[in-house]
Amino acid sequence: MSTALRHPLPNGATADNPRGASEFRLSVEQVSYAHNANPSQAPLFTLEALSFQAKPGEVIAILGPNASGKSTLLNLITGTLEPLSGRIFLNGFETRTLPVRTRAQRIALVQQESRLLFPTRAWEFVMQGRHAYGTGLRFETDEDIAIAKNALAQVGASHLAERRMDKISGGEKQRIILARALAQQPLLLLLDEPTLHLDIGAQVDLLETLRKLAAENRYTVVVVTHELNLAGEYADQVVLLQKGKCLRVGPPATVFQRELLEQVFQAPLSVEMTVSGRPRVTLFSNK
């Protein structure tokens, strides 16, 4: 697949979506998932039918407490799991039907930990993102090297290129993992609880970077998180989940309603709007 039309033209046309017809890059339609879907028994739904759409350049937050089905939704989008019902489209192509290599060229996943059996250097790690653009045995081209360098620069980790992965801090590792995802030059960037092990400054850094990347490179970014304020501050859309049910989809201002949030997170809180139009949530103690 040529890299010429990697980034979509202003009208949304790309090499794989020439018509650029649909303005939505990611389209999740009535997707549900259940464990042990046994025809003779009623299925145990991990995720009940939900739908949402995302445009290029948007940052979507999938928000909810633990065990609300966030990871399941993410796995459905990446194609690891097959939905019980419904379909997921990426630029008009159903993700399930894509071969593994093509999927890796379009969807990139950033997970929290990366356990390497034999630790490599950071730039080698980032280079792994280019794997999908070749056959089983491939040697890196100059183009690959340029893209990897660029990815490291975009996450502000160029100085870490020669360091070994087991010798850098958690936050730095997170950036390298993100750089690898960027090296894949995807259309869709998925992140699974990326802020879990980061301190506050790093958390803000990361979200800022994501917003910038989404805007500049027209990625669609989907972030799974339970951090209310980060979602409120940086997301263009929020998908609110509780116990497998999608309670609301929309911009943070509409989703962050006090009663709704209290019900979902089981904690007293208050919501106020800031000057920029973003909601801010304050938690109280239970007393």
Partner 1 sequence: MRTLTPARLLLRCGILAAILFAVVVLALKLGAVQVSLYGLGRDLISVLLGRTSSLSSDYGMIVLDIRLPRILLGIVVGASLSVAGASFQALLRNRLADPYVLGISSGAALGAILALIIENHLRLSPEMAGLITPVGAFIGAALTIAVVYLLGRREGEIDSTTLLLAGIITASFLSAVIMFLMTTLSGNNLRGMAFWLMGDLSTPQPRSLLYFISFGFIVAAGAIYTTASDLNLILAGEKEAMHLGVDVSRVRIVVYIAASILTGLAVSVSGAIGYVGLLVPHVMRLIYGPDHRMLLPASALGGAIALVIADTLARTITAPTDLPVGAMTAMAGAPLFIYLLRRRIA
Partner 2 sequence: MQRAFLQLHRALLLLAASAALLVSLPLCAQTTAPAPTQTTFHEVTDEFGRTIRLPLVPARIVSLAPSLTETLYALGVQDRLVGVTDFCDYPADAQKKTKVGGMLNPNLEQIAALHPDLVLATKEINRLDTVRALDTLGIPTYAADANTHTVEEILSSTRRLADLLGVSGAGNALSAELQGRLAALHNKLENVPATRVLFVVWTEPLISVGQNTFVADALRKSDATSIVESKQDWPQISLEEVVKLQPDYLVFAASHSESGTRDFESLSNLPGWRLLDAVRNHHFAVISDAVNRPAPRIVSAIEDLAHQLHPAAFVEPGAPEKQLPKTPDLSKGSIAQSAASTQIVSQECPCAR
| CA-based max dimension of the chain | 62
- Residue 111 interface partner, choices partner 2, partner 1, none, CB cut-off 5-8 Å depending on type: partner 1
Residue in 19, 35, 138, 167 binding partner 2, rule: CB under 8 A: 138
Q: Does 170 contact partner 2 by CB under 8 A?
A: no
**Do 156 and 75 form a contact (C-beta atoms < 8 A)?**
no
Q: Does 139 contact partner 2 by CB under 8 A?
A: yes
Secondary structure, 3-state, 171-233 = HHHHHHHHHHHHHCCCCEEEEECCCCCCCHHHHHHHHHHHHHHHHHHCCEEEEEECCHHHHHH
Q: Does 101 contact partner 2 by CB under 8 A?
A: no
Which 153-182 residues touch partner 1, going by CB under 8 A? 161-162, 180
Q: Quote the least distance from Cβ 226 to partner 1, whole Å.
A: 22
- State the pairing for strand pair 237-242/188-192: unpaired
Q: Does 62 contact partner 1 by CB under 8 A?
A: no
Residue in 80, 141, 254, 270 binding partner 2, rule: CB under 8 A: 141
Residue in 115, 200, 201, 286 binding partner 1, rule: CB under 8 A: 115
Question: How many other C-beta atoms lie within 10 A of the C-beta of residue 184?
Answer: 23
Of the candidate spans 119-127, 132-140, 157-165, 255-263, the one that interacts with partner 2 by CB under 8 A turns out to be 132-140
Quote the tokens at residue 272: 């106020």
Residue in 18, 119, 134, 156 binding partner 2, rule: CB under 8 A: 134
Q: Does 123 contact partner 1 by CB under 8 A?
A: yes
Q: Where are the alpha helices (DSSP H) in the chain?
A: 70-78, 100-106, 122-127, 142-154, 170-183, 200-217, 228-234, 252-255, 258-265
- Residue 108 or 240 with smaller CB distance to partner 1: 108
Q: What residues line the site for partner 2 (CB under 8 A)?
A: 134, 138-139, 141
